[in-house]
């Protein structure tokens, strides 16, 4: 029997597939009333301005929840060194990224790991329709990879949020700088405009992590 949350996840996957299709097919509907050139110009104007990415500042200890996640989902953590470490942010790719970020944020139910799993911190894919901050981002990462984005350009990242608490986001490395997908907002922002203190992120090789120079990271990411 399919649960309500299971149906929610199916809707997310179906919606993400439609968004991903925008990477390889022309828009219809609205496009009938406007030229493709006008649409592309509007989307191009909405792209973030180019900016410097967050600098790697040496090795850092991986989050324990990440290590455990990779033990359960090895394929989700596998990194192909032949993949690009950043992507070119085209209008079509921007549509896919913002669409998947928004769809996951609005389709999943936020719940703490303690309520969900009975443990303080567990990283998972929110495939039952519920999860906390890192679970939202891991599902986005999975869907974006299915849409053709290289995992090597997508980095799970730990920050200190506006409340001074640990929080996990997904960082997408692009030719316009590092962009942040966050379950707290459907806006995809340049990393330096989030207001967060950046602690460390997944590296571009294996399951290692790198420091981003912020304060010492909390042992457990915030359950939001």
Which residue is listed with tokens 């997408």? Answer: 172
Residue 195 lies in a domain: yes
Domain span at 24: 4-211
Greatest CA span in the chain, whole angstroms? 53
Residue 217 lies in a domain: no
Residue 82 lies in a domain: yes
Q: What is the mean pLDDT of residues 205-222?
A: 69
Residue 216 lies in a domain: no
| Low-confidence winner among 5-19, 64-78, 110-124 (lowest mean pLDDT) | 5-19
Residue 221 lies in a domain: no
Residue 83 lies in a domain: yes
Residue 223 lies in a domain: no
pLDDT in tens, 111-146: 999 999 999 999 999 889 999 999 999 999 999 999
Nearest alpha carbon to residue 135 among 4, 47, 12, 40: 12
The total domain count for the chain is 1
* Mean residue pLDDT across the chain: 84
pLDDT in tens, 71-82: 999 999 888 889
H-helix segments, the chain: 4-21, 30-33, 36-46, 64-72, 74-77, 91-107, 113-117, 133-146
What's the CA angle centered on 42, arms 39 and 45, to 5 degrees? Answer: 150
Residue 224 lies in a domain: no
Q: What is the pLDDT of residue 64?
A: 92
Q: In a 3-state reduction of DSSP, which class is residue 140?
A: helix
Q: What is the CATH number of the domain that holds 19?
A: 3.10.620
- 58 φψ region: left (φ > 0), alpha (ψ -120 to 50), beta (else): left
Helices H / strands E in the chain, number of each: 8, 9
């Amino acid at each position: 029997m399919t649960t309500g949350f299971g149906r929610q996840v199916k809707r997310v996957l179906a919606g993400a597939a439609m968004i991903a299709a925008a990477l390889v097919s022309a828009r219809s509907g609205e496009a009938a009333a406007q030229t493709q050139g006008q649409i592309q110009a509007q989307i191009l104007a909405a792209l973030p301005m180019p900016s410097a990415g967050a600098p790697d500042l040496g090795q850092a200890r991986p989050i324990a929840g990440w290590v455990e996640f990779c033990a359960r989902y090895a394929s989700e953590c596998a990194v192909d060194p032949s993949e690009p470490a950043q992507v070119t942010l085209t209008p079509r790719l921007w549509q896919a990224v913002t669409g998947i970020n928004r769809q996951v944020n609005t389709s999943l139910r936020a719940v703490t790991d303690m309520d969900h799993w009975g443990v303080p911190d567990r990283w998972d894919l929110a495939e039952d329709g519920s999860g906390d901050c890192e679970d939202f981002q891991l599902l986005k990462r999975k869907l974006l990879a299915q849409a053709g984005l290289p995992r090597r350009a997508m980095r799970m990242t730990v920050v200190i949020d506006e409340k001074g608490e640990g929080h996990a986001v997904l960082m997408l490395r692009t030719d316009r700088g590092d962009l942040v997908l966050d379950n707290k907002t459907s806006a995809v922002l340049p990393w330096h405009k989030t207001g967060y203190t950046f602690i460390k992120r997944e590296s571009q090789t294996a399951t290692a992590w790198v420091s981003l120079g912020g304060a010492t990271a909390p042992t457990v990411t915030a359950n939001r």
